[in-house]
Amino acid sequence: MSMSRFPNSAEDENRTVHVREVGPRDGFQNEPETIPTEDKIRLINALGRAGIKRIEVASFVRPDVIPQLSDGVAVLQGIDVPADVQRMVLVPNSKGLDNALGHRDLFEEIALFVSASETHNKRNINRTVRETMDDVMQMGKRILAEDLSYSAVIATSFGCPFEGAVPMDRVLDLAEQFAESGATEIGFGDTTGMCNPAYAHRFFSAAIERLPGVEITAHFHNTRGQGLANAYAALEAGCRSFESSFGELGGCPVPAGSTGNIATEDLVSMFHEMGVDTGLDLERIIDAARDAQSTLGRKLTSHSIIAGPVIWSPAV
């Protein structure tokens, strides 16, 4: 794996971050056509071989709602990733949890989610925030009783396309409720790309202070081209956990126009050039993203797919 010869500082050299891959769920679900199961399996296996330790593989949602993920169980059964890779699934409600627990041996981690915006939550899963959180409290107990890891995701943490500004305290109050229900990790999602670096730094500084003992994860979208800048600002605030999607796949179906997540390969390239350790093989991630581009038959928006990793050795 390539690392920059010119880290910014000695402090950067000592920093390590965790980069989690959400493309197989968050990315594939936004594709207009269903990706063949065998292609999904091949791409996930490639990501696992690149050193990624947690991959969001599937979602237990109704197949008529997200048909692109209707083969989730088959994908979980078919993938062959290293034993130290956490296979993660997303669950929308108690019925989804019932379905997921019927396949308990196929994954190690469950993520629950809510939107900080009432309007977005209603349009996304047809429930109020309070209804969702009441369900969360019960689901959290069940997940922990199964000896599974339990993570939480708060969408529209940095702004809502329907309601505008989302108060920081509202988001962190929800995070505290998740922590009380047993979540050991909480991800804050910039669902429609409304965050900016200054606010990202303030937000993650406050979240880390308010949620001691909880792993704080940044999940930025590149809708307006600020994803990497926001990730850098979160890093400077002390965040050491990030989610991204290879090829910059993904987005939010509500509303239209909310384009993809930060590209995993672009995020890892930035960290490596700063001397921040990810433990990942950048070249293999780029290869997986290029494979995804060929599989989808369209140009993806990742920069590293085109440019490749930075090469510091002289040309021969």
Burial of 306 (0-12, 13-18, 19+ CB in 10 A): exposed
Return d(Cα 98, Cα 59) in angstroms, integer. 13
Q: Minimal CA–CA distance to 76: which of 99, 50, 51?
A: 99
Task: Give 3-state DSSP helix, strand, coil % of the chain, rounded to 5.
Answer: 45, 15, 40
Ramachandran bin of 104, using left for φ above 0, alpha for ψ from -120 to 50, beta for the remaining angles: alpha
For residue 111, the surrounding DSSP H or E stretch is strand 109-115
User: What size, in residues, is the chain?
Assistant: 316
Return d(Cα 113, Cα 153) in angstroms, integer. 5
Look up 252 and say whether it is catalytic: yes
Structure-block tokens of residue 6:
């010119």
Q: How many CB atoms lie within 10 A of CB 196?
A: 16
DSSP state of 24: I
Q: Where do the H-state alpha helices sit in the chain?
A: 10-13, 37-49, 72-78, 94-101, 118-125, 129-145, 168-180, 197-210, 227-237, 264-273, 282-296, 304-307
Catalytic residue among 160, 195, 239, 252: 252
DSSP strand pairing (215-219 vs 149-155): unpaired
Return the exposure string of 173-184: e unless at least 16 CB atoms fall within 10 Å of the residue's CB, then b: ebbebbbebbbe
The residue assigned the tokens 């939480």 is: 152
Contact 189, 150 (CB under 8 A): no
Return d(Cα 266, Cα 287) in angstroms, integer. 13
Supply the residues annotated as catalytic.
Answer: 252
